[in-house]
Amino acid sequence: EVQLVESGGGLVQAGGSLRLSCAASGFTFDDYAIGWFRQAPGKEREGVSYISSSDGITYYADSVKGRFAISSDNAKNTVHLQMNSLKPEDTAVYYCAAKFLFSSGGYFKPSAYDYWGQGTQVTVSS
């Protein structure tokens, strides 16, 4: 059974930090890239960050550059998203997703991803 399980969300004051985790199972972790997406009420799902452990490539949305950092612990089949200097506009449900490394599609294109987690809520208060 393929599973992606997000954790680490919660309520934090503006300027604070959270670390999200995405634990993967049921597929060959090293053959997939992991992307983080978020969706706020009334808005479309948007890409936040991406990591490919095979080649070390990472990507960040302009809105989070310098504040968020993605990392991969391949031994534990887990990807983390460290979120610092959080802003109220970061409030959203955050999803991790897995994309087969050799499939086509953009890094932040949701339809290019094969598996999705259930999401974890991040709320940033002002």
pLDDT tens, 70-110? 999 989 999 999 999 999 999 999 999 999 988 888 899 99
Residue 68 host element (H or E): strand 68-73
pLDDT tens, 26-81? 999 989 999 999 999 999 999 999 999 777 899 999 999 999 999 999 899 999 99
Contact predicate 57/51, CB 8 Å: yes
